């Protein structure tokens, strides 16, 4: 069996995006998401409560999607981590970086923070004394061609853990996301991925599932 964490990035960016993420969870198509805590508004409170319930009921992993505005990384990480704890009354299941290509110099600082908190860090694969996480860096599933995704799937090895990240949602005219138009396609690609998972002996999983393995 191959264990695959299908992670939905950007929960909190838009009520419309949140709705798609929650629907995919309830349909058991995904079991993981990463939250932009600084984007959550009062209008999203009901959706946040729904996410908390799904996390408890279905072992959906809820991570912190670090959203940097400057290079004062240490301060922003601590503030967002505490805010996550206040919103969810729990620690995040994992940490990753929003628009990571723009904040490459933040990676070693995030890694050190993850070591301190003993929380999995995306793209730092393997099990060590600090955390247990996927065996390889996450694959970026938001792309035009599903063939690229299936080619990646074909290379996965039995008995190992992997992550693929998407940005599911529907077009939100009020949101300035650079991936706004791609989100509906991500919904379709997630469903298409499920149509072939049995063929490749793949099980959808979460970071919480990974944490409980021997």
In order of start, what are the domains of the chain with their CATH numbers? 2-211 (3.20.20.370)
pLDDT exceeds cutoff 80 at 6: yes
Q: For position 128, what pLDDT does the model report?
A: 84
Which has more confidence, 128 or 72?
72
pLDDT exceeds cutoff 90 at 207: yes
Q: For position 149, what pLDDT does the model report?
A: 97
181 pLDDT band, cuts 50/70/90, is: confident
Using CA atoms, how far residue 68 sits from 5, 62, 129, 181, in Å, is 24, 19, 27, 23
Q: For position 168, what pLDDT does the model report?
A: 98
The length of the chain, given as a count of residues: 214
Q: What is the mean pLDDT of residues 70-85?
A: 98
Query: What does R_g of the chain's alpha carbons equal in angstroms?
Result: 16
CA angle 73, 75, 118 (to 5 degrees): 80
Q: Which residues contact 32 (CB under 8 A, 6 or more apart)?
A: 5, 6, 7, 8, 60, 61, 62, 63, 93, 94, 163, 206, 207
Give the Cα separation of 85 and 141 in Å (integer).
Answer: 28
Question: Cβ(183)–Cβ(167) under 8 Å?
Answer: yes
């Amino acid at each position: 069996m191959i264990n695959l964490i299908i992670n939905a990035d950007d929960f909190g960016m838009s009520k419309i995006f949140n709705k798609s993420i929650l629907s995919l969870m309830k349909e058991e198509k995904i079991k993981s998401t990463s939250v932009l805590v600084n984007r959550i508004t009062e209008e999203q409170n009901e959706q946040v409560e729904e996410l908390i319930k799904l996390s408890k009921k279905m072992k959906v992993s809820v991570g912190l999607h670090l959203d940097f505005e400057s290079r004062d990384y240490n301060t922003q990480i601590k503030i967002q981590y505490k805010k996550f704890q206040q919103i969810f009354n729990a620690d995040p299941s994992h940490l990753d970086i929003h628009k990571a290509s723009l904040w490459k110099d933040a990676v070693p600082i995030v890694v050190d923070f993850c070591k301190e908190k003993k929380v999995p860090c995306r793209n730092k694969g393997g099990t060590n004394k600090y955390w247990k996480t996927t065996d390889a860096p996450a694959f970026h599933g938001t792309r035009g061609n599903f063939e690229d995704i299936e080619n990646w799937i074909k290379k996965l090895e039995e008995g190992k853990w992997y992550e693929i990240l998407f940005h599911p949602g529907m077009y939100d005219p009020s949101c300035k996301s650079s991936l706004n138009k791609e989100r509906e396609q991500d919904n379709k690609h997630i469903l298409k991925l499920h149509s072939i998972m049995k063929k490749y002996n793949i099980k959808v999983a979460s970071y919480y599932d990974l944490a409980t393995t021997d």
